[in-house]
Amino acid sequence: MVQENSANTSAMAGDLQILLSDILNVPVLRSGKKIGSLLDLVIAETAKIPEVRSLYVSRSFGNPSLLIPWENVHTLTGRGIEVTIGDLKPYETEPTEDVILLRDYVLDKKVIDLEENEVEVVYDIRLVLRNKKLYVTDVDTGKAARLRRLGLGMLAKILYTSADTEAEQMISWKYIQPLPTNIGRFKGDIKLNVLKNKLAEIHPVDLADILEEMDHDQRVMLFSTLEHEHASDTLEEIEPKVQRDIISSLSTDKVVQLINDMTPGQAADVLSVIPHSDAEDILAALNPDNARKLRAIMEKQEEKVIHYTTQKILKFLPDTVVEYVQNDYPRHARGKDVVMYIYVVDGSDRLLGVVDLKELLRADDKAPLSAIMTENVIALNAGSTLKEASQEFERYSFRALPVIDDDNHLIGVIPYRDVMNLTHHFLE
């Protein structure tokens, strides 16, 4: 769809990055003939990162302006935009009051923080093209952008290089509050959703939550804009399904760089969620000693918990009274591997609930176990791996976890020590 050989655009991590200043006022072409010039872009804030929905095209000689859907864009470069449309009449219209125009509403606006302190002025906007969709990712408040905004782009290239920190000062759109709707010609300031002194970083845990809420294209595009160390730390915090989604869109070299920044245990966790063939490619590109450690961890982590369960547990029917368990607890617990939890099952051994020993000691003597048990039980299934068990133990801090089958039958229990004291925890 988009021609990526423009002198004014560059590709990074498989995506095409575009500055708004490079495409404003370029000719819009139909079958190679100019039909107007790009005046603005219509965006929609459907998720964390806005998406371009239409081109707002001005025409000469008093002809009506055009609104052309993004889906009709064939190629986009700094020299022109080719669109695939027929008769112009259906596209002759003006933007309605409820749409957001990127140039009109955002360029030259002040960026203020939550305390109403002025931060900078927006002189340019960065967009990223991915999978035929164009997203808004950053606003640029740097000195080079200011010169470009004044029409002095050549001077900006002479005075500043890409290594100059003053040349490009991007603020990620993820820090920008949603713009107001039904605003007509927006004359206000752009407002950040964090204080100025917090702009530099979002904690990896919080950023992981943001990424998990996005769709695939937005997630990968945003991840590719992170600094290397920040990306590595964030990847560790993301849930396995989303980890797999992101890694599948990165080059092997990029994944190797991220893996090298992690501890062996963390790296093994990440590699274990992707297809075996992809993991092997990454392991082959790593330092041999590091690869050897990761293989050892991954092989252990993929073992099934069912091989580590014990049936030596405290197990009672739901109508068993607390007094019966309390009074004869030493005898009940004799020879058991797990004694801090009482598992409540029906006559077919289906798990109904669990009672912590502390709750048992505090309970009314005459109460049935069904009255004091926790029914929402965190459990593993027969196909769970040691790695998954480790994640659950770290998340909930339980001392043991029940293992059930697809029909909720209690197969056994796996103690904390049998998972968390495995070799991979020492390798970290």
The mean pLDDT of the chain is: 80
Kindly give, in sequence order, each residue whose CB lies less than 8 Å from that of residue 172, ignoring residues fewer than 6 positions away. 137, 138, 222, 225
182 pLDDT band (50/70/90 cuts)?
Answer: very low
- State the pLDDT at residue 336: 86
pLDDT at site 309: 86
CA dist., res. 172 & res. 125, Å (int): 10
**What is the percent of the chain with per-residue pLDDT over 70, rounded to a whole number?**
80
Backbone angles phi, psi at 13, to 5 degrees: 55, 35
Q: Which of 2-6, 151-155, 162-166, 220-224 has the lowest mean pLDDT?
A: 2-6
Distance CA 96, CA 316 (A): 67
The stretch 213-223 carries a mean pLDDT of: 71
pLDDT at 201 (0 to 100): 54
55 pLDDT more than 80: yes
Q: Which tokens hold the place of 144?
A: 């080079």
**Lowest mean pLDDT segment, chosen from 199-208, 222-231, 274-283, 295-304:** 199-208
Asked if pLDDT for residue 200 goes beyond 70, the answer is no
Q: What is the mean pLDDT of residues 125-135?
A: 90
The predicted model gives 43-55 an average pLDDT of 84
Residues 342-371 pLDDT 10s: 999 999 999 999 999 989 988 999 999 999
pLDDT of residue 92: 95
> Whole-angstrom Cα distance, residue 422 to residue 425?
6
Confidence of residue 184 (pLDDT cuts 50, 70, 90): very low
Q: Is the pLDDT at 179 greater than 80, yes or no? A: no
Q: Is the pLDDT of residue 426 over 70?
A: no
- Mean pLDDT for the stretch of residues 259-284: 82
Q: Exposed (0-12), middle (13-18) or buried (19+): which is 154, by Cβ within 10 Å?
A: exposed
Looking at this protein, which amino acid is placed at residue 337? Answer: D
